[in-house]
Amino acid sequence: MIGFDNPAAFFFLLALPVFFYLRSVKVFSRIAFPLTISDWNGSSFSWNNSVMNVISSLARLLVVLAFVCMVVAFADPVVHHQEKVFTSRGTDILFVIDTSPSMAAKDIGGTTRLNLARNAIRTIVEQNAGQEFGLVAMAKEAAVVVPPTLDQSTFFNRLDSLSVGEMGDGTAIGTGLSCAIMHLDASPAPKKSIVLITDGENNAGTVHPHTAARLAAEKHISLYVLGVGTKGTVQIEYADPKTGQQYSGFLNSNYDVTALAQIASEADGKFYSVETVSALSQALAAVAKNESTAQAYHLKNRDASYARYFVAFAAILLVLAWVLRRLVLQEVL
């Protein structure tokens, strides 16, 4: 909603018709001394260049518009909007994202599996402002890179900086889940959940995925497992974040759907097989819906002032008017 904090400033616009009227009756006419350059009783000099007349009129119009912009700026235009301020805690959701080299495969939507997950996660987080989201990066090793937070800018900055290979080569699903469980265990949130996004089978780490899944169930933490990727030969290309070395080639994609589904089953969770962009979006939307909680909140008014933009625009108009009159018309101002 657009409004003005100082609407009385618009009365200054009445000065425009008054100014033009007074000028028409020669009140504001310039002091000038006639100097006729012509033959005796001959025709005097006259300016008949239509282009110059148009430019002169344009320069005057720019000055008028600049005055209007300054009046609008003085009226202090603001855009009012309301935002929710939550007074009770919602669900804590930790995304455990596989960053192993196979997540660089480009087999869904023309982008890498990691980018696919990144884009879908961003959409879900933006749509659920009251919930706290966190990130666990997982490959050969795992670490909480963003604890559950309401600060979406912090979450998105780290989400965008995730890179293939930053946690090594391999997939330690059990380690990634354990890392998330230990962090959520101390959370006072009414509901807690883990969303595992991976394209491979467990081949690293010292914790068995089933052990971690059962621990999640014991801690009353919901587990969702999303298996991302298609089967067959897929293109892969990425740069090692530690050495900068480029790798490219083809990957025989054939992750074990049954193994991932069993991990979800051990925690009484749900498994989703994702082979399309829409399938991933639908899976994450289902997670957000299942994990939603009723939260108390109040509305807070936020005002954004746009006065400075009108001042800047007025300055630009005045500079343009000066250029036209001084440099084009070559007037002495």
Reduced 3-state DSSP string for the chain: CEEECCHHHHHHHHHHHHHHHHHHCCCCCCCCCCCCCCCCCCCCCCCCCHHHHHHHHHHHHHHHHHHHHHHHHHCCEEEEEEEEEECCCCCEEEEEEECCHHHHECCECCECHHHHHHHHHHHHHHHCCCCEEEEEEECCCEEEEEEEECCHHHHHHHHHHCCCCCCCCCCCHHHHHHHHHHHHHCCCCCCEEEEEEECCCCCCCCCCHHHHHHHHHHCCCEEEEEEECCCEEEEEEEECCCCCCEEEEEEEECCCHHHHHHHHHHCCCEEEEECCHHHHHHHHHHHHHHCCCCCCEEEEEEEEECHHHHHHHHHHHHHHHHHHHHHHCCCCC
Q: Is 15 exposed, middle or buried (0-12, 13-18, 19+ CB in 10 A)?
A: exposed
- Does 309 have pLDDT greater than 80? yes
Query: Between residues 121 and 51, which one has the greater pLDDT?
Result: 121
- Does 87 have pLDDT greater than 80? no
Q: What is the pLDDT of residue 311?
A: 94
Kindly state the average pLDDT of the residues 21-34: 68
Amino acid at 129: A
Q: For residue range 151-209, what is the model confidence (pLDDT) as tens digits?
A: 999 999 999 999 998 898 889 999 999 999 999 998 988 899 999 999 877 888 889 99
Residue 5 backbone dihedrals phi, psi, to 5 degrees:
-80, -20
Instruction: Give the closest residue to 66 by CA, choosing from 306, 326, 319, 333.
Output: 319
Q: What is the pLDDT of residue 36?
A: 60
Q: What is the pLDDT of residue 42?
A: 59
- Is the full-model pTM beyond 0.85? no
Query: Between residues 19 and 69, which one has the greater pLDDT?
Result: 69
Domain-wise residue ranges, the chain: 50-77+306-333, 85-290
Q: For residue range 266-284, what is the model confidence (pLDDT) as tens digits?
A: 999 999 998 899 999 999 9
Least confident of 161-170, 188-197, 220-229, 246-255: 246-255
With cut-offs at 50, 70 and 90, classify the pLDDT of residue 240. Answer: confident
Query: Between residues 223 and 302, which one has the greater pLDDT?
Result: 223
Most confident of 7-11, 176-180, 196-200, 300-304: 176-180
Query: Between residues 27 and 93, which one has the greater pLDDT?
Result: 93
Q: Does domain 85-290 have CATH number 3.40.190.100?
A: no
- Does 57 have pLDDT greater than 60? yes
- Does 84 have pLDDT greater than 80? no
- Does 38 have pLDDT greater than 70? no
- 192 with 184: CB under 8 angstroms? yes
Least confident of 33-42, 75-84, 167-176, 249-258: 33-42
- 287 with 195: CB under 8 angstroms? yes
Q: What is the pLDDT of residue 109?
A: 83
